[in-house]
């Protein structure tokens, strides 16, 4: 083949390489939030009206170099694949886990920080938050009641990096009648996803037992 063939091809490859490098550089410099999730805590319910709130340890990581804002999160819950009966839950508070543990794993005004608000996330940083979710539009929607079954969780995040909320994580847990009875008997129930780890969240509480000893990963 003549040089007249190879020259345009080489120029095209070089242009493509430059474009890819520019894209990678741009993405490295932008705000790129990610969320790691999978564990669910069902706090003691003896002082509640019998309805259930979900406490999720979440690790927010910024893979980019630019600072940004995590504006809100939301959780969609589907039981036994019944999508038409999915429940939307919104964050109602951030939980201070040290005080939560000191209160014997019971929610009270001393360990819940209300309301849950947007927060800044610096470049190449990670932060652990323990977020309490309750049924959205409480008062118009029925409270969450547990029954045995397969629970699918979808975690959505809206940040300053996107115009629309983004589905960040999906995971599942099976809830058995025994666990429902434990919760009714004023015992905190832990649903642990051993397929993932939450290093920042668990490291934050390394000196304190937040997972039951027999179930620690």
Report the distance separating Cα 129 and Cα 61, nearest Å: 11
- With bands split at pLDDT 50, 70 and 90, how would you rate the model's confidence at 217? very low
Structure tokens at 211: 């997972």
> In 3-state terms, what secondary structure has residue 31?
coil
**Per-residue pLDDT, 179:** 95
Structure tokens at 69: 């804002």
CB atoms within 10 A of CB 84: 5
153 sits in which H/E element: strand 149-159
> Does pLDDT of 11 surpass 50?
yes
169 sits in which H/E element: strand 166-175
Q: Is residue 11 classed exposed, middle or buried when 0-12, 13-18 and 19+ CB atoms within 10 A define those classes?
A: exposed
Among candidate residues 23, 56, 73, the one with its CA nearest the CA of residue 198: 56
**Per-residue pLDDT, 214:** 38
Predicted TM-score of the model (pTM):
0.79
Among 38-52, 93-107, 160-174, the least confident range: 38-52
Task: State mean pLDDT over 147-168.
Answer: 96
Task: State mean pLDDT over 45-60.
Answer: 78
Among candidate residues 59, 35, 34, the one with its CA nearest the CA of residue 199: 59
131 DSSP β-pair partners? 56, 94
Task: State mean pLDDT over 50-69.
Answer: 91
Report the distance separating Cα 75 and Cα 54, nearest Å: 10
173 DSSP β-pair partners? 151
Give the 3-state DSSP-derived string for 32-67, with helices as H, strands as E and coil as C: CEEEECCCEEECCCCCCCCCCCEEEEEEEEECCCCC
> In 3-state terms, what secondary structure has residue 204?
helix
Among candidate residues 80, 158, 152, the one with its CA nearest the CA of residue 117: 158
For residues 86 and 76, is the Cβ–Cβ distance under 8 A?
Answer: yes
Residue 86 gets which letter from DSSP?
-
């Amino acid at each position: 083949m003549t040089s007249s063939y190879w020259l345009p091809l080489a120029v095209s490859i070089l242009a493509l390489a430059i474009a890819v490098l520019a894209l990678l550089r741009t993405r490295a410099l932008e705000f790129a939030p990610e969320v790691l999730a999978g564990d669910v805590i069902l706090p003691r319910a003896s002082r509640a009206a019998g309805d259930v709130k979900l406490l999720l340890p979440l690790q927010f990581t910024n893979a980019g170099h630019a600072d940004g804002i995590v504006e809100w999160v939301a959780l969609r819950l589907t039981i036994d694949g019944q999508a038409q009966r999915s429940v939307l839950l919104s964050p109602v508070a951030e939980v201070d886990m040290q005080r939560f543990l000191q209160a014997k794993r019971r929610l009270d005004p001393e360990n819940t920080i209300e309301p849950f608000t947007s927060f800044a996330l610096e470049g190449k940083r990670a932060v652990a938050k323990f977020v309490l979710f309750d049924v959205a539009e409480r008062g118009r929607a029925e409270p969450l009641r547990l029954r045995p079954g397969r629970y699918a969780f979808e975690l959505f995040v809206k940040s300053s990096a996107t115009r629309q909320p983004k589905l960040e994580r999906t995971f599942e847990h099976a809830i058995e009648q025994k666990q429902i009875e434990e919760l009714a008997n004023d015992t905190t129930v832990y649903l642990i996803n051993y397929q993932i780890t939450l290093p920042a969240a668990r490291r934050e509480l390394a000196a304190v037992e937040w997972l039951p000893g027999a179930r620690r990963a």
